């Protein structure tokens, strides 16, 4: 049965699905009462107002989730069209923005290593006692520090191409002694010098691509790019120079230079010397051509199984075009020879209901 709609007193739209009776309506009336008192110039308790707002939002979301579970797919599509009918209205745009934020949260668009699954993955690897980790694009060392804390037998070879950031990385690595080997240069597909572009106020934006600073949807201000020259070598050359026979985990966060870094490990990859790769995937990949399809095409023939990283684990799956959303942030490629790792890390792929 189609829902009956009434004009919403809170958002002034006829398409509001808010049930204005019962506990949700009571919460709404309380919130409206507080607003009226505020308009009359009375004091208000910010914490109480926030609590009421959160409670109202949570109750509304719970009611909507309950409703959606009862609706067949066709009615859900009708409901979505009804809600989004007046696409230029502020309440509709606000709701659409919230839905997009919710979808991004569901897809794990989160860069905090302690919340997005990166630290959890390290903890799940602990029983396998990995010993050699490479952190390419280490920044100030947040991931390297987490790796040392979760994997007490591991040594992290950390690479940071920006000199000022490498100095901060060295300070953070100091308490771990020789367990974090700081390399103040980058990895690429050749040895020599490259031009880098850095933002003096944001160390995470350093890249060999000027585009990384010219357009960055995550920045809320214009970038202040600084151009400099930096040293690079290849992963294969580094492994040979340091006598590293195998890499347990190669983590790559290089702001668009993923193809060059992996090309520099071509010998080690073909020889099966890299057991697992963590790579970042986002909007820059649309410009560099390092799409998910490209990663699958490169790594699957070399024996890797690929999946997106979530706090719950890794959703290993075959490539599908609908996965190409450029949201990221991280994917895992684990060699099939480590079937025990794959099983320990695996979580079910996400699927819309």
Q: What is the CATH number of the domain that holds 237?
A: 3.40.50.150
156 pLDDT exceeds 50?
A: yes
On average, the pLDDT of the chain sits at 86
Residue 321 lies in a domain: yes
Backbone φ, ψ for residue 233 (5° rounding): -140, 180
184 and 332 belong to one structural domain: yes
Residue 157 lies in a domain: yes
Residue 299 lies in a domain: yes
pLDDT tens-digit readout, 89-103: 998 999 899 889 999
Domain count, the chain: 2
pLDDT of residue 321: 94
13 pLDDT exceeds 70?
A: no
311 and 171 belong to one structural domain: yes
126 and 246 belong to one structural domain: yes
Task: Say how far apart CA 122 and CA 113 lie, in whole Å.
Answer: 10
**C-alpha distance from residue 5 to each of 17, 91, 249 (Å):** 7, 15, 55
178 and 259 belong to one structural domain: yes
Q: What is the 3-state secondary structure (H, E, C) of 176-197?
A: HHHHEEEECCEEECCCEEEEEE
pLDDT tens-digit readout, 279-306: 999 989 999 999 999 999 999 999 999 9
pLDDT of residue 222: 58
Domain boundary among 106, 130, 149: 106
Domain boundary among 45, 74, 106: 106
Residue 212 pLDDT class (50, 70, 90 cuts): confident
Non-local CB neighbours of 302 within 8 Å, separated by 6+ positions = 269, 270, 272, 335
Residues across the chain: 353
Query: What is the mean predicted confidence (pLDDT) over 36-54?
Result: 66
pLDDT of residue 37: 52
2 pLDDT exceeds 50?
A: no
Q: Is 162 exposed, middle or buried (0-12, 13-18, 19+ CB in 10 A)?
A: buried
Residue 31 pLDDT class (50, 70, 90 cuts): very low
pLDDT of residue 341: 98
316 and 243 belong to one structural domain: yes
Task: Say how far apart CA 180 and CA 195 lie, in whole Å.
Answer: 26
198 and 77 belong to one structural domain: no
pLDDT of residue 44: 57
Query: What is the mean predicted confidence (pLDDT) over 2-26?
Result: 41
10 pLDDT exceeds 90?
A: no
Q: Domain of 99?
A: 22-106
Task: Say how far apart CA 333 and CA 31 lie, in whole Å.
Answer: 49
Is the entire prediction scored with pTM above 0.85? Answer: no
């Amino acid at each position: 049965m189609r829902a009956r709609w009434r004009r919403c007193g809170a958002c002034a739209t006829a398409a509001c699905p808010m049930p204005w009776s019962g506990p949700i309506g009571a919460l709404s009336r309380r919130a409206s009462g507080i607003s009226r008192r505020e308009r009359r110039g009375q004091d208000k308790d910010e914490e109480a107002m926030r609590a009421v707002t959160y409670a109202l939002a949570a109750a509304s979301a719970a009611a909507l989730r309950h409703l959606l579970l009862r609706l067949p797919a066709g009615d859900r599509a009708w409901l979505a069209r009804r809600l989004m009918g007046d696409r230029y209205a502020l309440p509709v745009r606000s709701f659409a923005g919230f839905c997009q934020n919710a979808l991004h949260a569901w897809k794990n668009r989160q860069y905090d290593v302690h919340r997005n699954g990166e630290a959890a993955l390290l903890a799940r690897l602990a029983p396998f006692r990995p010993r050699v980790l490479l952190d390419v694009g280490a920044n100030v060392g947040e991931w390297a520090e987490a790796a040392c804390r979760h994997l007490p037998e591991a040594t992290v070879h950390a690479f940071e191409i920006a000199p000022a950031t490498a100095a901060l990385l060295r300070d953070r690595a100091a308490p771990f002694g020789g367990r974090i080997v700081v390399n103040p240069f980058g990895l690429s597909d050749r040895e020599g010098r490259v031009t880098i572009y850095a933002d003096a106020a944001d160390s995470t934006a350093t890249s060999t691509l000027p585009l990384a600073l010219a357009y960055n949807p995550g920045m809320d201000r214009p970038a202040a790019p600084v151009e400099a020259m930096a040293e690079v070598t290849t992963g294969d050359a580094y492994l040979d120079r340091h006598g590293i026979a195998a890499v347990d985990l190669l983590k790559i966060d290089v702001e668009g230079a993923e193809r060059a870094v992996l090309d520099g490990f071509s010998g080690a990859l073909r020889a099966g010397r890299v057991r697992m790769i963590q790579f970042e995937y986002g909007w820059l990949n649309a410009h560099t051509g390092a799409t998910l399809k490209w990663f699958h095409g490169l790594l699957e023939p070399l024996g890797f199984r690929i999946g997106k990283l979530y706090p719950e684990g890794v959703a290993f799956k075959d490539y599908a075009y609908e996965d190409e959303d450029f949201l990221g942030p991280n994917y895992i490629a684990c060699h099939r020879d480590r079937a025990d790792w794959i099983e320990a890390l695996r979580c079910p792929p996400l699927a819309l209901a």
